[in-house]
Structure 1
Amino acid sequence: MIATGSAGPAIAQPLKVLRVTAIPGESPAEVTRRFGPLGRYLETKLDMRVEWVPVLDYDAVVDGLVHKKIDLALVGGFTFVLANARTGGRIVPLVQRESDGEYRSVFITRAGSGIKRLEDLKGRSISFGPGSSTSGHLMPRAALLNARIRPEADLTRVLYASGHDAVVSAVLGGRADAGALNIYIWERLVTEKKVDTAVVTEFFTTPPYYDTSWSVHADMPAATRERIKTAFLKLDATKPDEKEILDLQRSTKFVPTRVENYQRIKAAAENAGLLK
Structure 2
Amino acid sequence: MLTVHAPWSRIEPLDKKAHTANRSLKITGKDLAAGFMAFGLLTCGDVSLEVETDDSTLVGEHDSEEDQRVLLRLGVSAHKDPQRTYRSSQPLVDYLNAHTPYRVEFRIGRSSESSELAPTAQDLVTFIEERLVEIAPLGVLSYCLADDRFGALALVRHRNRDGEALDRSVFLVPAASDMRALSDLSGRSLALGPSHSTLGHLVPRYELALASVEPGTVENLESESAIVEAIKSGAFDAGVAPEYLIDETALEGLRALHVSSPIASRPMVVRRDLPEPVRASLLEALLSFRGEASGVTGSASEFSHGFVQGAPTDYDVVCKMLDTIEASCSQGCHEAGD
* 1:3 paired residue number: none
**Is the partner of 1:137 in helix, strand or coil?**
helix
Q: Is the 8 A contact 1:91 1:217 kept in 2?
A: yes
Q: Which residue of 197, 209, 212 corresponds with 1:133?
A: 197
**Is the partner of 2:257 in helix, strand or coil?**
strand
Q: Give 1:20 shift.
A: 2.0
Q: Is the 8 A contact 1:82 1:275 kept in 2?
A: no
Work out the CA distance in 1 between the residues paired with 2:266 and 2:96: 19
Work out the CA distance in 2 between the residues paired with 1:138 and 1:206: 11
Larger CA deviation: 124-133 vs 52-61: 52-61
Q: Which residue of 80, 94, 110 corresponds with 2:155?
A: 94
* 1:70 paired residue number: 133
CA deviation vs aligned residue, 1:21-70 (integer Å, no higher than 9, x gap): 23567743322211011112223324224125423332222333333333
Work out the CA distance in 2 between the residues paired with 1:132 and 1:258: 23
Q: Give 1:157 shift.
A: 2.7
| Cα 1:128/1:21, change in 2 over 3 Å | farther
* 1:5 paired residue number: none
Larger CA deviation: 210-219 vs 13-22: 13-22
**Is the partner of 1:268 in helix, strand or coil?**
helix
**Is the partner of 2:274 in helix, strand or coil?**
coil
**Is the partner of 1:159 in helix, strand or coil?**
strand
* 1:183 paired residue number: 243
| Cα 1:25/1:136, change in 2 over 3 Å | farther
TM alignment of 1:170-249, pairs within 5 A: 170-186=230-246, 189-190=247-248, 193-196=249-252, 199-235=253-289, 239=293, 241-242=295-296, 249=303
Work out the CA distance in 1 between the residues paired with 2:303 and 2:133: 20
Alignment: residue pair count: 255
* 2:57 paired residue number: 12
Larger CA deviation: 266-275 vs 236-245: 236-245
- TM-score under structure 1 length normalisation: 0.80
- The one-letter amino acid paired with 1:168 is V
Work out the CA distance in 1 between the residues paired with 2:139 and 2:319: 12
- The one-letter amino acid paired with 2:215 is L
**Is the partner of 1:260 in helix, strand or coil?**
coil
Work out the CA distance in 1 between the residues paired with 2:55 and 2:120: 31
* 1:259 paired residue number: 312
**Is the partner of 2:74 in helix, strand or coil?**
strand
* 2:50 paired residue number: none
Work out the CA distance in 1 between the residues paired with 2:277 and 2:261: 37
RMSD: 2.6
Q: Give 1:10 shift.
A: 5.8
% identity of equivalent residues: 23
- Asked which structure has the greater CA Rg, the reply is 2
1:156 equivalent in alignment to 2:156 = no
Q: Is the 8 A contact 2:290 2:304 kept in 1?
A: no
* 2:102 paired residue number: 47
1:271 equivalent in alignment to 2:324 = yes
Work out the CA distance in 2 between the residues paired with 1:111 and 1:155: 19
- Bigger relative contact order (CA 8 A; separation at least 6): 1
